[in-house]
Amino acid sequence: MAFDRITCNPAKMNGQPCIRDLRLTVRRVIEAIATYPDRQDLLREYPELEDEDIRQALEYAAATLDDKTLTLAAS
């Protein structure tokens, strides 16, 4: 997978993955997607975002999550 829009710079945002070296983290984009389920509202709030930024943020988040099995206590 190529994430050409995801950048990590230790001097910016504490090295967190960002969109195109902007001060907009992948985490913030994912949170914004949850807050603004309507894409047009999201783009009005974050006009610097492009559709490919959003797609790569989602793909990056999915790629960095590990599948884990959790044992839940019986109630």
pTM comes to 0.82
Provide the pLDDT for residue 75.
66
Structural domain spans, the chain:
6-64
CATH number of 6-64, picked from 1.10.10.10, 2.40.50.100, 1.20.1050.10, 3.90.550.10: 1.10.10.10
**Alpha-carbon span 29 to 22, nearest angstrom:** 12
In tens digits, what is the pLDDT along the chain, a chain of 75 residues? 689 999 999 999 999 999 999 999 999 999 999 999 899 999 999 999 999 999 999 999 999 887 777 788 876
Query: 2 to each of 5, 12, 35, 57, 71, how far by Cα in Å?
Result: 9, 21, 27, 12, 34
